Amino acid sequence: MGLALFSSDGKLIWKGSTQTGKRRPQEEATMKHSGGNQACYVLGQKTPSIRDLYSLGHKLGQGQFGTTYMCKEISTGREYACKSITKRKLISKEDVEDVRREIQIMHHLAGYKNIVTIKGAYEDPLYVHIVMELCSGGELFDRIIQRGHYSERKAAELIKIIVGVVEACHSLGVMHRDLKPENFLLVNKDDDFSLKAIDFGLSVFFKPGQIFEDVVGSPYYVAPEVLLKHYGPEADVWTAGVILYILVSGVPPFWAETQQGIFDAVLKGHIDFDSDPWPLISDSAKNLIRGMLCSRPSERLTAHQVLRHPWICENGVAPDRALDPAVLSRLKQFSAMNKLKQMALRVIAESLSEEEIAGLKEMFKAMDTDNSGAITFDELKAGLRRYGSTLKDTEIRDLMEAADIDKSGTIDYGEFIAATIHLNKLEREEHLLSAFRYFDKDGSGYITIDELQHACAEQGMSDVFLEDVIKEVDQDNDGRIDYGEFVAMMQKGIVGRTMRKSINMSIRNNAVSQ
């Protein structure tokens, strides 16, 4: 995991570690036993066995690094969620540090009512287990859609909770960096306001005035200064502003058919208040959104200022008049599409093998022609040419700068692995085909609504509006999704996916094909 670098024509060309420590191949190798076990404790010390304290139940969800299960505390019978992270997938030192930091931040934020409570963390030879509060009420958008009646006032109540989480994080020196509707769950199905922020995997501690450069987040929600690699906690307010725009209109403010198109729209910063339903939305709501989506971070509202805005305050001016039903319909489609892409991306992520990791090690050795343990600019340039890359010298310089975090002028093995290991292969034919076949259970060449339903059950995903998925993706209106339609959907912008784990067309694909 690390920094993402985009070339001048918008392609993601390199991933760099945000850590400064240098590692040699032999040091990297000490991180694993045979069979994938870690030689040292990820958590830094031995912990009690989770199976002595909890009984693990059915699967709730699947992610790139592990699986979330229902679990029950043996001594009390209370139910919790257990996120089990597969240690063999923690390849680099940075991966391990990310897990440790996520746990530290969850403990640091413990006690705030709208942040999921961590119960404890445990480790065994194969997994790191994070036991936390169970949120069984579903996702934010799903609840809105199910309720039917929806108004500006309701949106104001929800964004007040979300921005309250941002303010709590910032007051405790934490920047979230990946706020999005999928990262807010409801504790139960009866309380619309039991929202909890659940995912702190990209969160970091920060100090006042500290500047961050690694590009993280999700395309629709990313702030312009993040894309420009010069940002601070103000980026969280931008992201909350994007969520508010979606809550009121049903669509993202910065939209395009491709990921690069989305980034271009974000950097341009034009906010559409002319299309439906905006003519019927209050001026106060628009004023707040403008303040949250101000392109200049220094002029953007702070979380505290947002919470004091007239539209959001208790007994504020947000009207309770029902919004246009089209807003709910759009929210429904947006949520459904997100979930289908999430499932497909999981299938692709799971395809990463030890052999592919070994291939990266060989790629490093091939580029390091003088066997110094580090790659110089000339070696990188020559190596990329051998692998078929057509990057310009200026782009290779940018790539070098991004990967060479300690500014030594070279890229060592640890930086190289951290920079490339998480590049998924979304646009490689065999991976798209593999994901398509996962859904197409009967091998008919089409994905049907029954097959989508089956896939949702396998992945532990509920409340997916499958008719809307079919309707949105099915270009020829035959009631099913063929391979061409599936590929077109996957390439329309990577939804719900952090850019830390985004695609690399120029380098990785050519390298693996050699």
Q: Which positions are annotated as active-site residues?
A: 178
Q: What distances in angstroms separate CA 257 from CA 117, 262, 266, 341, 342, one per listed residue?
A: 38, 8, 13, 14, 17
15 is in an annotated binding site: no
Q: Which amino acid is at 309?
A: H
* Tally: H helices and E strands in the chain: 20, 15
3-state secondary structure at position 255: coil
User: Is residue 77 exposed (0-12), middle (13-18) or buried (19+ Cβ within 10 Å)?
Assistant: exposed
Burial string for 460-474 (b: 16+ CB within 10 Å, else e) reads ebeebbbebbbebbb
The crossing angle, in degrees rounded to 10, of helices 377-386 and 393-403 is 120
Q: In what order do the strands lie in the sheet with 79-86?
A: 54-62, 66-73, 79-86, 127-133, 118-123
3-state secondary structure at position 233: coil
Which residues are CB-contacts of 397 (< 8 A; sequence separation ≥ 6)? 377
**How many Cβ atoms sit within 10 Å of the Cβ of residue 86?**
15
> 317, 282 in Cβ contact below 8 A?
yes
Which residues fall in the annotated binding site for ATP?
83
Which residues fall in the annotated binding site?
83
